[in-house]
């Protein structure tokens, strides 16, 4: 895949730096930038390297692993391992001694080693005492959490090169604190890209906010029942001529579980031709009514997302808000109020191009940025508005969209 102009600029900036931040809106291809940078270093080096890729969640670490394996043309010269508690068919451990022994394979097998981990488990890599040649931190705003910042700081100190990717940087008033404005840990900003540039270059599409007025009041005591009814009412208003792939952010794992076990939500979805998937840290991952492991869930998401005739509803609490690339998502329904960063991240799930549009832009059939020619010209984000709830959330959401996508301002102006 050819790189877009902003990706080429980012790659050029990374070539001249050992540390730094890459601030690009969701859908701008940050993972591809990291893969190309890694590819350049591994292909030209005469010594074997240890590469660390850090993600906020196990599911994203799994996705990044598959993207790196597919994207690196030196994949046959790499061994892949995972450092987290999740399921994987690759080598996996969270024990410091095991991690140290595994990385020694680079000398035994004369190959590079790539470890995929989470911010939660990064301290295990630090404890192993291994040398880190390159570290890529995805969704790096998570690195500012107090329980993660120490291990990120320690890894940053020992890594020969470290880069931090995010659409939503989180800074602090103290430039020496845990925020991403601490240059000793995160380095300087290497590139900042506005969302407007990505729309005009054919990298993403603009979002459309759809407030949906709901009769009556929202009763938190019966949230599962009322949210289930609201969801079905919203789905019934969608264009039936197009297959809809809908991400639903629920108020809690408990509400989600009650929606699908105590009420007829799933039956109503089946009647409308929707398949359904859901994932929470408490109950795990399900495809329709079958429990699956995370890899099966991820593979099914890819399969369903790429099928233009597939209709599905994807429930989650927070696992899919950040970083996850779910192909084909057309709508997002927010059944809960989100913090600004998570709100911006959630919008990012539905503003990725349809694969058919991306291919037509590449072959010159349609001009980049001419969204009215696209199969998927916009990503819809719906907020239910009750008489006693939702108006403020809808206004906040529209403000985020206006600031980032219409005014072209960087997201940090919202979050700092």
CB contact set of 126 (below 8 Å; sequence gap of 6+):
151, 154, 155, 158
Residues 177 and 229 in one domain: no
pLDDT of residue 113: 96
Residues 185 and 249 in one domain: no
Residues 252 and 172 in one domain: no
Contact 51, 115 (CB under 8 A): yes
In a domain, 324, yes or no: yes
Q: State the Cα–Cα distance between residues 340 and 400, nearest whole angstrom.
A: 8
In a domain, 199, yes or no: no
Please state, in angstroms and as integers, the Cα–Cα distance from residue 324 to each residue in 101, 319, 345, following that order: 31, 9, 10
Residues 103 and 181 in one domain: yes
Length of the chain equals: 416
Residue 257 structure tokens: 């579980």
Instruction: Please calculate the CA angle 161-166-168 and round it to the nearest 5 degrees.
Output: 145
In a domain, 371, yes or no: yes
Contact 323, 332 (CB under 8 A): no
DSSP-derived letter for residue 174 is: S
Cross-strand bridge partners of residue 81: 91, 115
Prediction pTM value: 0.89
Give residue 27's region: left, alpha or beta (phi > 0; psi -120 to 50).
Answer: left
Residues 390 and 411 in one domain: yes
Residues 140 and 248 in one domain: no
Residues 147 and 248 in one domain: no
In a domain, 171, yes or no: yes
Among residues 193, 214, 237, the one where a domain terminates is 193
Report residue 380: phi and psi, to 5°.
-95, 135
pLDDT of residue 85: 92
In a domain, 85, yes or no: yes
What totals of helices (H) and strands (E) does the chain contain, helices first?
A: 17, 16
pLDDT of residue 343: 82
DSSP string covering 104-158:
THHHHTT-EEEEEEETTTHHHHHHHT---SEEEETTGGGGGSHHHHHHHHHHHHH
Residues 271 and 141 in one domain: no
Please give the residue range of the domain that contains residue 285.
Answer: 204-415
Pairing outcome for strands 78-83 and 112-118: parallel
Contact 184, 176 (CB under 8 A): yes
In a domain, 41, yes or no: yes
Q: Residue for token digits 């990385």?
A: 103
pLDDT of residue 392: 79
Identify which of 68, 42, 24, 60 has the alpha carbon closest to the alpha carbon of residue 164. 24
Among residues 193, 220, 255, the one where a domain terminates is 193
E strand segments, 151-305: 161-166, 189-192, 207-213, 245-249, 275-280, 284-287, 290-292
Q: State the Cα–Cα distance between residues 146 and 47, nearest whole angstrom.
A: 35
The CATH number linked to 301 is 3.40.50.300
Q: pLDDT of the chain along its 416 residues, tens only? A: 678 899 999 999 999 999 999 999 988 999 999 999 999 999 887 789 999 999 999 989 999 999 999 998 755 589 999 999 988 899 999 999 999 999 999 989 999 999 999 999 999 999 999 999 999 999 999 999 999 999 999 999 999 999 999 998 999 999 999 999 999 999 999 999 999 999 999 999 999 998 888 776 676 777 888 888 889 988 988 876 666 899 999 888 898 999 889 989 999 999 999 999 998 888 889 999 999 988 888 889 889 988 888 999 999 887 777 767 787 899 999 988 877 888 888 888 899 998 889 999 989 999 999 999 999 999 999 988 877 666 777 888 888 888 888 777 766 655 54
Q: Residue for token digits 């840290």?
A: 281
* Side-by-side strand order, sheet with 19-23: 91-92, 78-83, 112-118, 50-55, 134-137, 161-166, 19-23, 189-192
Q: Residue for token digits 């639903």?
A: 248
Name the H helices within 159-287.
183-186, 195-200, 223-236, 253-261, 265-271
Report residue 228: phi and psi, to 5°.
-65, -45
In a domain, 58, yes or no: yes
In a domain, 198, yes or no: no
Q: Residue for token digits 């701008």?
A: 28
Residues 232 and 364 in one domain: yes
Q: Which helix (H) or strand (E) holds 136?
A: strand 134-137
pLDDT of residue 336: 82
Total domains present in the chain:
2
Q: State the Cα–Cα distance between residues 59 and 48, nearest whole angstrom.
A: 28
Residues 50 and 173 in one domain: yes
Count CA atoms within 13 Å of residue 7 on its CB side: 20
Residues 234 and 330 in one domain: yes
Among residues 143, 164, 193, the one where a domain terminates is 193
Contact 135, 115 (CB under 8 A): no
Contact 410, 192 (CB under 8 A): yes
Residues 185 and 216 in one domain: no
């Amino acid at each position: 895949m050819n790189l877009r102009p902003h990706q080429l600029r980012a790659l050029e900036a990374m070539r001249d730096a050992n540390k730094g931040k890459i601030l690009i809106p969701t859908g701008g291809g940050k993972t591809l930038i990291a893969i190309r940078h890694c590819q350049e270093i591994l292909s030209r080096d005469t010594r074997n390297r240890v590469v660390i890729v850090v993600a906020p969640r196990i599911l994203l670490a799994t996705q990044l692993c598959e993207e790196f394996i597919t994207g690196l043309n030196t994949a046959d010269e790499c061994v892949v391992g995972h450092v987290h508690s999740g399921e994987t068919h690759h080598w996996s451990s969270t024990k410091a001694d095991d991690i140290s022994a595994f990385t020694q394979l680079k000398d035994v097998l004369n190959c590079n080693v790539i470890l995929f981990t989470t911010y939660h488990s990064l301290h295990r890599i630090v404890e192993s005492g291994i040398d880190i040649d390159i570290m890529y931190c995805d969704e790096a705003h998570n690195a500012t959490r107090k329980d993660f910042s120490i291990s990120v700081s320690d890894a940053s100190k020992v890594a020969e090169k470290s880069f931090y990717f995010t659409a939503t940087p989180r800074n602090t008033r103290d430039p020496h604190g845990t925020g991403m404005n601490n240059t000793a840990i995160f380095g300087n900003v290497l590139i900042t890209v506005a969302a407007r540039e990505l729309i005009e270059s054919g990298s993403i599409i603009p979002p459309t906010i759809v407030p949906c007025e709901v009769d009556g009041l929202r009763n938190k005591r019966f949230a599962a029942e009322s949210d289930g009814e609201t969801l079905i009412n919203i789905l019934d208003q969608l264009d039936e001529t197009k297959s809809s792939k809908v991400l639903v952010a629920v108020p809690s794992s408990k509400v989600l579980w009650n929606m699908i076990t105590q009420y007829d939500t799933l039956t109503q979805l089946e009647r409308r031709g929707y398949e359904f998937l859901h994932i929470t840290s408490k109950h795990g991952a399900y495809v329709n009514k079958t429990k699956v492991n995370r890899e099966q869930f991820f593979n099914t998401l890819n399969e369903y997302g790429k099928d233009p005739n597939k209709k599905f509803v994807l429930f989650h609490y927070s696992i899919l808000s950040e970083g996850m690339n779910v192909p084909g998502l057309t709508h997002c329904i927010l059944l809960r109020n989100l913090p600004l960063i998570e709100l911006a991240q959630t919008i990012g799930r539905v503003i990725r191009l349809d694969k058919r549009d991306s291919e037509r832009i590449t072959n010159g059939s349609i001009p980049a940025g001419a969204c009215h020619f696209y199969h998927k010209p916009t990503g819809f984000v719906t907020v239910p508005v009750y008489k006693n709830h939702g108006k403020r959330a809808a206004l906040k959401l529209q403000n985020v969209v206006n600031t980032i996508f219409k005014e072209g301002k960087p997201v940090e102006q919202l979050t700092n």
